[in-house]
Amino acid sequence: MNNILIVDDNPVLLDIYSEILRKEGYSVSVAESGDDALDILRDRNFGIILLDIMMEPMNGWEILRSIRKFKDSDEAEIIILTAKALHPDEVLIYGDMIQGFLMKPVHIDLLRDYLIMIISERERRDDMISGSAKSNFSAGDISEYETLNQQIRVWEELLFILEDTYGVEKIAENREFREKTEQIRDIIADKKYNARVLESSLGLRD
Signed CA dihedral, 45, 46, 47, 53: sign only: negative
Phi, psi of 149 (to 5 degrees): -60, -40
Phi, psi of 70 (to 5 degrees): -135, 0
- How many Cα atoms sit within 13 Å of 171 on the Cβ side? 21
Domain regions of the chain by residue span: 3-201
Torsion angle, alpha carbons of 26, 27, 29, 34, to 10: -60
Check residue 134 and give its pLDDT. Answer: 61
* 120, 99 contact by CB (below 8 A): no
Check residue 125 and give its pLDDT. Answer: 87
Check residue 145 and give its pLDDT. Answer: 94
- Whether domain 3-201 has CATH 3.40.920.10: the reply is no
Helix, strand or coil, per DSSP, at residue 13 = helix
Q: pTM score, two decimals?
A: 0.93
Phi, psi of 4 (to 5 degrees): -125, 140
Give the mean pLDDT per block of 10 residues along the chain (206 residues). 94 95 96 97 95 96 96 90 96 98 94 96 86 72 93 98 97 97 99 95 74
